[in-house]
Amino acid sequence: MEILVGVKRVPTVGGAITLTADRRAIDTKASGFTISPHEECAVEEAVRLVERCGGSVTVVTLGPAIAEEQLRSCLALGASGAVLIETEPGVEAGPIATAAALHAVAAGGRFDLVLLGNEASDTGDYQVGIRLAHLLGWPAATGIKALAVDDATGSVSASRTYRGVLETFALELPCVVTVKEGINLPRYPSLPGRLRAKRAAITRVPGPAAAADGDVRMTSLRVPDAPRKQATVLGQGAAAVPALVDVLVELGVVS
Amino acid sequence: MTVFCLVELDGGEADGGAAEAADVSLRAITFARGLAAGGVAAVVFVGGAPAGGSSSADGAEPGVGAGLVADLAAYGVADVYAVSGIDGYAPLAWARVLQSLIRESGHGVVAAGTERGNEVLAHLGAITGRPMAANCTQAVDNGGDGYAIVRQRWAGLLLEEAVLEGPTALLTVATDAVAAVPDEVGTTATVHQVVPSVDGSDLVVRAVETPAGAGGASLATARVVVGGGRGVGSADGFGPLEELAALLGGVVGVSRVVTSEGWRPHTMQVGQTGTKITPDLYLACGISGAIQHFAGCSGAKSIIAINTDATAPMMTRADYAVIGDLHAVIPALTEALRQRRGASD
């Protein structure tokens, strides 16, 4: 089975988000970079499928040249091919442009399955997988937390929870599936994996020069106002329980 | 223009008669009202059976109960489109129905930023070639040629101000950022029966539903959530939290460290990559408050934090804080609530 996994380089957000002076990006001078937890799980799921069924995993990213770091991390986990769709620094491709760029790579290979994270942790557009599926003419399932693929018949069973109900979708390969954290527990890279990743060749293709016409156009970013004021301290340890009960009554949680 | 609002139901899609509009959909309708000079129309998928009896719109209202229609009207909905003939949740088929509604009368579509809302509107964006903006907190009509929107990035840790061009707005509404407010001017809603002709290829991906857990309130809709983090210390340490949650009629949620330690399953995780909660009370026990955790719990009306570290972000950003070990505070609180309940009986 040939699997394509899409990942995205995003800043590692720690204590607080700070913005650049023009308020159009996160200030990343002091931050590391990673891929979204959903995407780590997509890579892991793909590697497990290939370990079981044979085939290979190719990772693809749309991003600046330095996003090669994230591709190599995925190679260390068991992917064997990597494609960097290289954007100019500062160009933020929206979901329509991203789906189109991924489509060019997906359609150029002989893939049975495309796995993505349900949403990128930074922009959270919630649509790239579905737009890609429509461009490919493939079915899609999103937000998936349990995936079973029968490589003999090509049938796929994909489940998620929705408002306390388990929803299961039956699909056929080829298809696009977007997954969420919790579908598996991603492995740590092995030493041989890291060494192999260091030497692996990365295919580079040019990306979109600018955001696509008609995409949602970001004008600026802002950090929401801290919604809460300084906490009222109710006391120390179990001695605070009477005050705590009073608050629960005040909030209407207990009568 | 009219804004069509996809209404999700509590109580199952198959039985429109007994179902109520989900709170997240009432929030989406409230949001849509601010955008719709031409009024808000609700679109309700009532399940497989085509509307029984006469197909005329007058008389009975098969599929949607009078209570649901009245509730929607109270939130300012003037028209209810009851869509029958699609058996279960089929995202692409639902998107086609919405496409035909906006094609017939122009206009936009709003849905709650749920798994279904985001999915259906993404399909609608793809099949109409239109942009779609997920998890909006505000939208203003720029006068026919576009919209100025504010939407969540990083699950709400960052806000994006953006322009959505063109006359058709496809927006989902952040589930934790807009309150559900009834319309000041009460109205009555007209029910329109819609029985679409559905292409079989649009039904290829369709959900089969089974109950996920053994009863129990869902984390996303619980009114009280008792949260446990690293400070709980072990899988066994959750017993007192579960006892307290049951006493308060709530559920237990956990931070990411708890699921990566394997103490509790990922379905219980609150945060950016887990569930977003909107309870009346979030009681966060032994949770330091990583920024990704706040992305999941900042929709709580009130937060009480219990932690040994008074400087932890959860303690300083909560409404109320108790400095101390949750292993002492929680059992004492449970006991006090039991005594109080016993005294009032």
Measured at the CA of B208, the angle between CA B4 and CA B129, to 5 degrees, comes to 40
Q: Of B170, B5, B11, B192, which Cα lies nearest the Cα of B84?
A: B192
Q: Which residues of B touch A253 (CB under 8 A)?
A: 223-224, 248, 280-281
Task: Find the helix or strand (DSSP H, E) in which A196 lies.
Answer: helix A191-199
Residue B101 has pLDDT above 80, yes or no: yes
* B contact residues 192-221, partner A, Cβ 8 Å cutoff: 204-213, 216-218, 220-221
Alpha-carbon gap: A199 to the closest alpha carbon of chain B (Å): 31
pTM of the predicted protein model: 0.91
Provide, as residue numbers in chain A, all residues whose Cβ is less than 8 Å from the Cβ of B316: 230-231
pLDDT at position B254: 97
Range of the domain at A142: 2-206
User: Which residues of chain B are in CATH 3.40.50.620 domains?
Assistant: 3-203
Which residues does chain A have within 8 Å of residue B163's beta carbon, measured at their own beta carbons? 216-217, 219
pLDDT in tens, B303-314: 999 999 999 999
Sequence-distant (≥ 6) Cβ neighbours of residue B180 within 8 angstroms: B23, B26, B27, B29, B30, B75
Say yes or no for a CB contact (<8 Å) between A182 and B337.
Answer: no
Contact B152, B158 (CB under 8 A): yes
Min distance B1 CA to chain A CA atoms (Å): 20
pLDDT band of residue B98 (cuts 50, 70, 90) is: very high
Would the pLDDT of B276 be above 70?
A: yes
Consecutive H or E run containing A42: helix A37-53
Window 110-149 of A: residues touching B by CB (8 A cutoff) are 119, 121-127, 129-131, 133-134, 139-143, 145
Which residues in chain B are classed under CATH 3.40.50.1220? 224-344
Task: Look at A165 and B211 and tell me if their CB atoms are within 8 Å.
Answer: yes
Residue B277's Cβ-side half-sphere holds a number of Cα atoms within 13 Å equal to: 35
The mean predicted confidence, pLDDT, of chain A is 94
Contact status of B308 with chain A (Cβ, < 8 Å): no
Mean pLDDT (whole number) for B128-150: 92
Cβ contact, residue pair A143, B154, below 8 Å = no
Confirm or reject contact between A95 and chain B (CB < 8 A): yes
Measure in Å the smallest separation between the Cα of B95 and chain A Cα atoms: 12
Residue A229 lies in a domain: no
Q: How confident is the model at residue A228 (pLDDT cuts 50, 70, 90)?
A: low
B152-165 burial, b for 16+ CB within 10 Å, e for fewer? bbbbbbbbbebbbb
CATH code of the domain covering residue A108 = 3.40.50.620
| Gap from B188 CA to chain A (nearest CA, Å) | 29
pLDDT tens digits, one per residue of B140-194 = 988 777 899 999 999 999 999 999 988 889 999 999 888 999 998 878 999 999 9
Q: Tell me the CA distances in angstroms from B204 to B36, B88, B91, B93, B210, one per residue in order.
A: 33, 12, 10, 9, 19
- In this prediction, the answer to ipTM > 0.85 reads yes
pLDDT at B72 over 70: yes
Map residue A108 onto helix, strand or coil: helix
State mean pLDDT over A152-159: 97
CB contact under 8 A, A140 and B205: yes
CB count within 10 Å of CB A148 equals 11
| A-contacting residues in B 22-81 (Cβ below 8 Å) | 22
- Residues B108, B35 contacting (CB under 8 angstroms): yes
Q: Residue A157: is its pLDDT beyond 60? A: yes
pLDDT tens sequence across A6-30: 999 999 987 788 999 999 999 998 8
Whether residue B91 has pLDDT greater than 70: yes
Report, as an integer, the average pLDDT of A169-190. Answer: 96
The answer for A 55-94 residues in CB contact with B (under 8 A) is: 94
For B224-344, give the CATH class. alpha beta
Do residue A171 and residue B205 have CB atoms under 8 angstroms apart?
A: yes
Instruction: Write down the architecture of domain B3-203 according to CATH.
Output: 3-Layer(aba) Sandwich (3.40)
Judged by a CB distance cut-off of 8 A, whether residue B135 touches chain A is yes
In chain B, residues with a C-beta closer than 8 Å to the C-beta of A133 are 126
Q: What confidence score (pLDDT) does residue B106 get?
A: 64
Please give the pLDDT value at position B177: 84
Q: Does A151 touch chain B (CB under 8 A)?
A: no
- Any CB–CB contact under 8 A between B321 and chain A? yes
Which parts of A42-184 are beta strand (E)? 56-63, 81-86, 113-117, 140-144, 146-150, 155-162, 165-172, 175-179
A247 is a domain residue: no
DSSP state of A23: S
A218 assigned to some structural domain: no
B chain contacts of residue A227, beta-carbon cutoff 8 Å: 298
Please indicate, yes or no, if residue A32 is contained in any of the structural domains: yes
Residues 207-246 of A with CB under 8 A from B: 214-224, 226-228, 230-238, 240-242, 244-245
Number of domains chain A contains: 1
Residue A113 lies in a domain: yes
**How would residue A193 be classed by pLDDT, with cut points 50, 70 and 90?**
very high
Please report whether residue A219 resides in a domain. no
- Do the Cβ atoms of A224 and B116 come within 8 Å? no
Share of chain B above pLDDT 90, in %: 74
Of B270, B271, B309, B314, nearest to B289 by C-alpha is B314
The model's pLDDT over B202-243, given as tens digits with 9 standing for 90+, comes to: 999 999 987 765 444 588 889 999 999 999 999 999 999 999
Q: Is the pLDDT of residue B53 over 90?
A: no
* Subunit contact A215:B160, Cβ cutoff 8 A: no
Candidates A15, A160, A227; nearest CB to B298: A227
Instruction: Provide the pLDDT for residue B172.
Output: 98
